[in-house]
């Protein structure tokens, strides 16, 4: 069957939860993807900020194959070596003390919310803790994660959790005004992804940290998208000289194997006791081995150095576009997490660029998001601009 036939088949059996692009992807190599007919695409989406190491990385693939042959799954009623190693790596990276491994970002957020509520419950004997979340945030689609996601139309039909209050991102006065005696946590992304590539300002994040310390509120940073080196440091919050009480991770943590994690400071982590939380798959040896290998390859391939280098070049090139074309309002973001905001919906531009062999995603209606594999080179930036610019030039 060809791509067209597979797309028709898919439209019969898949739930219609995504507006999919008309491409059936088959394989990947480095920073390129290929569809069923062998057409090549330069990938500036990385499966939504997932595939940091590039596709078909031989060492990564070999490690996973070996783990499949050794032991794919046990249960969390036993210990396994890869999970322990993975959690050691995560504590070193985050500066936090204990880790719970999950299968996705959403589940990491879910766990972080439960942890914050349990800490509050232990203190107050009641489960009525409130959480302050940010407008335009994105934390996932399960009932808990959705409840703290700042897009009303995502939440409205589903009757989300009570006790969630939304404040404006980068507006300290608004956040502070929403604190009550019941506030148990403040949750935010260090750099908002879906919400439009907005980094937290230094002043905002540092003031929120101080507020949390003063009031005994847990600061949960969601680094599912902006973490794992994407902004030039392993954790984006390293650039703010602060540390959260809880952090959530996923996406590039497994580089394609579905994994996530939430990590917390000792005093809070201990609030969760046997029976409070669990997962059948979470931290299974296969998924944990993927995490271990990702950390190893980040070091070997000097991923952070590359991000710092190439992101300066990418910013410069995007700034040139933003200056040259009136339909572009602004370039913003941090590291290899960049966005171009247009004065119009970008769906058409993204579609045309895809036809021309470039994959990007949108963030909201008017923003093209650039979240390439972290191993891209300057030559790939040039290639991307070479495809995108003619499409933008037609817009005028």
Ligand X SMILES: *Cc1c(COP(=O)(O)O)cnc(C)c1O
Binding site for ligand X (CB under 6 A): 104-106, 109, 138-140, 189, 193, 222, 224-225, 250-251, 260
Question: What CA–CA distance (Å, rounded) separates 380 from 42?
Answer: 8
Cβ proximity to ligand X, 256 vs 260, nearer residue: 260
Cβ proximity to ligand X, 106 vs 147, nearer residue: 106
Q: CB of residue 104 vs ligand X: minimum separation in angstroms?
A: 4
Question: What CA–CA distance (Å, rounded) separates 68 from 374?
Answer: 26
Q: CB of residue 324 vs ligand X: minimum separation in angstroms?
A: 30
- For ligand X, the nearest residue by Cβ is 105
Q: CB of residue 1 vs ligand X: minimum separation in angstroms?
A: 29
Cβ contact 263:90 at 8 Å: yes
Cβ proximity to ligand X, 188 vs 392, nearer residue: 188
Cα atoms in the Cβ-side hemisphere of radius 13 Å centred on 370: 28
Cβ proximity to ligand X, 242 vs 387, nearer residue: 242
Per DSSP, 185 falls in state E
The separation between CA 156 and the C-alpha centre of its own chain, rounded to angstroms, equals 23
Q: CB of residue 23 vs ligand X: minimum separation in angstroms?
A: 20
Name the nearest CA neighbour of 224 among 48, 30, 64, 91: 48
Cβ proximity to ligand X, 110 vs 383, nearer residue: 110
Rg of the chain on CA atoms, in Å: 21
Cβ proximity to ligand X, 260 vs 285, nearer residue: 260
Q: CB of residue 8 vs ligand X: minimum separation in angstroms?
A: 27
Name the nearest CA neighbour of 256 among 228, 215, 231, 214: 228
Cβ proximity to ligand X, 105 vs 111, nearer residue: 105
Cβ contact 298:117 at 8 Å: no
Q: CB of residue 79 vs ligand X: minimum separation in angstroms?
A: 26
Q: CB of residue 228 vs ligand X: minimum separation in angstroms?
A: 11
The 8 Å CB, 24+ separation contacts for 275-282 are 276/114, 276/118, 277/100, 277/111, 277/114, 277/115, 278/76, 279/76, 279/100, 279/101, 279/102, 279/103, 279/107, 280/75, 280/76, 281/73, 281/103, 282/76, 282/100, 282/101, 282/102, 282/103, 282/107
* The dihedral formed by the CA atoms of 140, 145, 149 and 155, expressed in degrees to the nearest 10: 100
Cβ proximity to ligand X, 193 vs 232, nearer residue: 193
Question: What CA–CA distance (Å, rounded) separates 189 from 138?
Answer: 8
Cβ proximity to ligand X, 251 vs 334, nearer residue: 251
Per DSSP, 171 falls in state -
Q: CB of residue 137 vs ligand X: minimum separation in angstroms?
A: 8
- For the beta carbon of residue 260, count every other beta carbon within 10 angstroms: 28
Q: CB of residue 205 vs ligand X: minimum separation in angstroms?
A: 15
């Amino acid at each position: 069957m060809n791509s067209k036939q597979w797309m028709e088949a898919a439209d019969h059996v898949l739930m219609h939860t995504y507006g999919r692009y008309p491409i059936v992807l088959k394989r990947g190599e480095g920073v390129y993807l290929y569809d069923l007919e062998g057409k090549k695409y330069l990938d500036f989406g990385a499966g939504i900020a997932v595939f940091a190491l590039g596709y078909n990385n031989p060492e990564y693939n070999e490690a996973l194959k070996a783990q499949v042959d050794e032991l794919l799954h046990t249960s969390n009623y036993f210990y396994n070596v890869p999970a322990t190693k993975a959690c050691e790596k995560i504590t070193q990276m985050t500066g936090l003390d204990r880790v719970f491994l999950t299968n996705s970002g959403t589940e990491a957020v879910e766990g972080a919310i439960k942890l914050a509520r349990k800490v509050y419950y232990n203190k107050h004997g009641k489960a009525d803790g409130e959480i302050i979340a940010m407008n335009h945030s994105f934390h996932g689609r399960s009932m808990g994660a959705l409840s703290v996601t700042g897009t009303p139309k995502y939440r409205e039909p589903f009757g989300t959790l009570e006790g969630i209050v939304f404040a404006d991102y980068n507006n300290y006065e608004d956040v502070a005004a929403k604190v009550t005696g019941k506030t148990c946590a403040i949750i935010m992304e260090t750099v908002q992804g879906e919400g439009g590539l907005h980094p937290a300002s230094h002043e905002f994040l540092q003031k929120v940290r101080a507020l949390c310390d003063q009031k005994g509120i847990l600061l949960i940073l969601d680094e599912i998208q902006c973490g794992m080196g994407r902004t030039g440091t392993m954790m984006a919050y390293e650039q703010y000289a602060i540390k959260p009480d809880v952090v959530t991770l996923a996406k590039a943590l497994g580089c394609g194997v579905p994994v996530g994690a939430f990590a917390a400071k000792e005093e809070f982590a201990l609030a969760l006791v046997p029976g409070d939380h669990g997962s059948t798959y979470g931290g299974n040896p296969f998924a944990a081995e993927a995490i271990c290998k990702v950390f190893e390859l980040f070091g070997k391939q000097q991923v952070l150095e590359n991000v710092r280098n190439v992101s300066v070049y990418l910013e410069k090139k995007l700034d040139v576009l933003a200056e040259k074309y009136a339909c572009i309002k602004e370039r913003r973001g941090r590291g290899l997490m960049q966005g171009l905001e247009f004065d119009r919906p970008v769906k058409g531009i993204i579609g045309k660029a895809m036809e021309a062999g470039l994959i990007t995603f949108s963030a909201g209606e008017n923003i093209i998001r650039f979240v390439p594999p972290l191993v891209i080179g300057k030559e790939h930036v040039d290639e991307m601009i070479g495809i995108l610019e003619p499409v933008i030039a037609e817009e005028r």
